[in-house]
């Protein structure tokens, strides 16, 4: 693929570099915040060779470019004139839900790969302990465990930096506030239950290790305070006195109010999600898994990611993502069925490639390149997902290792520290059932060889 040409075409159809407020990318999507969306055309963007589809969601224009998205992104960076376009991440001006999704995606998107990698490594280490390949006293295990746990332990620092960029304030300040939350002395005072006060105001000591919500709210508060201080403090004094004022005000405010309130909110969020789950795990799995990939298409899944991570921080496990994990295998099964059945050479190649990506946890090529264009395979995959989610709920499957977006390498994350149990076996069964049901339904009902494919420019295949 000619990536420079593709980047140049995208830049032209997106309205030029002067129309870009910010641009990021995830595993398969270029995510633009534009100044004027009317300068773009969804039809023209989708007509670009190399773009699978275009989605307007969360105030963003999202171009699904597939696994080569990073190469396209790097070429875009060379052509974007404004130096702020890849650094600042303006929050969406849409409705409250769109703004919320925009904030969450802005905070978590840059670190999601590291979170997933850390969680997968934790899962593999657990499997290695159970299999007797390693033991906890082994130096190799200890170093790899440190590598897997560092992201979660110091999450307030890393999310603080990301949130600072998202809220357009100094990310080093917000990272420092995150560091204050996990400062060793503060942890020791909490563990020893030693009283602490600030200006004679008692501080409610909490454990902020692995926490998510406190630093995001603290970063938002810091950004608002930063904007106020920029209007008050003379420009010649801002370099030192704005950071100084932010630290003096924001750190105590976080420890006195924002942190404790956020921790209680985190607990309520975790309790609420588990309460809904426990009403009927089977029904929850059936419904959530059945519609999950639709939520992914519209970018609504970002609203759930803090819940997954927060549940693990509060309880050490998360059952919700265990219900949804099978959806990746369902979409993969449908795509593989299309690859086996189709007589369209180009579609067959794309479907086999998308199936391989699906097994590795990336479903966009399968969804946008194969299943959605053929319509019925996507429906069959949703049915298979619902069946798999119901089975995961029936066996009370749980995720223990952190967070992963899907794929075979994330499976060990669902093994508990006590070893493989019926929850894990049921989880594996949910993946198999989702894959098999989706594949069989697609082969039997979901795809006909005379179906029109967007990849077939000459009309129906013979």
- Other Cβ atoms closer than 10 A to 47: 12
The tokens for 297 are: 């298409």
The contacts found for 240-245 with CB under 8 angstroms, 24 or more apart, are 242/170, 243/170, 243/173
Which residue matches tokens 């609504």? 300
Residues in the chain: 462
- Cα distance between residue 380 and residue 268, in whole Å: 36
CA distances (Å), 229 to each of 152, 200, 222, 232, 244, in order? 32, 26, 10, 5, 11
For the chain, state the CA radius of gyration: 24
Which residues, in sequence order, are CB contacts of 78 under 8 Å at separation 6+?
7
User: Please, are residues 282 and 208 in contact by the beta-carbon 8 Å criterion?
Assistant: no
Which residues, in sequence order, are CB contacts of 27 under 8 Å at separation 6+?
67, 69, 113, 362, 364, 405
Task: With residue 332 as reference, give the H or E element that holds it.
Answer: helix 326-341
SS3 for 162-224, per residue? HHHHHCCCCHHHHHHHHHHHCCHHHHHHHHHCCCCEECCEECCCCCCCCCCHHHHHHHHHHHH
Q: Quick one: DSSP state of residue 92?
A: P
Catalytic residue, from 7, 24, 26, 297: name it.
Answer: 26
Work out the angle between the directed axes of helices 238-253 and 213-232 (0-180°, nearest 10). Answer: 140
- Other Cβ atoms closer than 10 A to 391: 25
The angle subtended at Cα 187 by Cα 213 and Cα 175, nearest 5°, is 45
End-to-end Cα distance, the chain: 28
Which residue matches tokens 């989610």? 389
Task: With residue 262 as reference, give the H or E element that holds it.
Answer: helix 259-279
DSSP reduced 3-state for 29: strand
Q: Is 26 a catalytic residue?
A: yes
The tokens for 254 are: 């976080």
Q: Where are the beta strands (DSSP E) in 65-213?
A: 197-198, 201-202
> Known catalytic residues?
26
């Amino acid at each position: 693929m000619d990536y420079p040409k593709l980047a140049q075409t995208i830049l032209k159809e997106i309205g030029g570099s002067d129309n870009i407020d910010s641009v990021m990318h995830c595993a398969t999507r270029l995510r633009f915040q534009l100044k004027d969306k009317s300068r773009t055309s969804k039809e023209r963007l989708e007509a670009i060779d190399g773009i699978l589809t275009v989605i307007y969601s969360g105030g963003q224009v999202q171009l699904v470019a597939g696994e080569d998205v990073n190469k396209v992104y790097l070429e875009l960076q060379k052509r974007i004139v404004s130096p702020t376009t890849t650094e600042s991440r303006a929050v969406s001006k849409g409705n409250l839900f769109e703004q919320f999704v925009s904030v969450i995606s802005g905070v978590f998107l840059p670190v999601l790969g590291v979170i997933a990698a850390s969680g997968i490594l934790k899962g593999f280490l657990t499997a290695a302990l159970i299999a007797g390949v390693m033991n906890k006293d082994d130096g190799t295990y200890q170093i790899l465990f440190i590598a897997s746990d560092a992201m979660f332990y110091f999450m307030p620092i890393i999310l603080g930096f990301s949130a600072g960029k998202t809220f357009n304030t100094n990310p080093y300040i917000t990272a420092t506030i995150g560091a204050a939350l996990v400062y060793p002395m503060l942890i020791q005072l909490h563990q020893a239950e030693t009283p602490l006060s600030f200006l004679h105001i008692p501080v409610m000591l909490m454990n902020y290790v692995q926490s998510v919500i406190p630093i995001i709210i603290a970063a938002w508060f810091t950004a608002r305070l930063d904007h106020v201080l920029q209007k008050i403090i003379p420009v010649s004094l801002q370099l030192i006195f704005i950071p100084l004022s932010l630290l003096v005000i924001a750190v105590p405010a976080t420890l006195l109010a924002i942190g404790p309130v956020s921790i209680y909110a985190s607990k309520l969020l975790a309790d609420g999600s588990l309460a809904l789950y426990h009403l009927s795990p089977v029904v929850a799995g059936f419904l959530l898994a059945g519609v999950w990939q639709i939520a992914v298409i519209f970018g609504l899944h970002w609203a759930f990611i803090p819940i997954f991570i927060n549940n693990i921080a509060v309880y050490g496990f998360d059952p919700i993502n265990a219900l949804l994990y099978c959806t990746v295998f369902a979409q993969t099964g449908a795509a593989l069925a299309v690859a086996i059945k189709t007589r369209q050479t180009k579609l067959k190649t794309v479907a086999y490639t998308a199936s391989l990506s699906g097994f590795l946890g990336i479903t966009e090529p399968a969804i946008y390149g194969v299943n959605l264009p053929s319509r019925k395979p996507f429906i069959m995959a949703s049915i298979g997902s619902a069946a798999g989610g119901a089975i995961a709920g029936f066996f009370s499957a749980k995720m223990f290792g952190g967070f992963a977006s899907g794929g075979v390498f994330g499976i060990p994350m669902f093994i508990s520290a006590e070893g493989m149990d019926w929850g894990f076996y049921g989880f594996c069964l949910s993946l198999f059932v989702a894959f098999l049901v989706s594949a069989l339904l697609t082969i039997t009902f979901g795809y006909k060889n005379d179906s029109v494919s967007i990849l077939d420019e000459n009309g129906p295949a013979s």
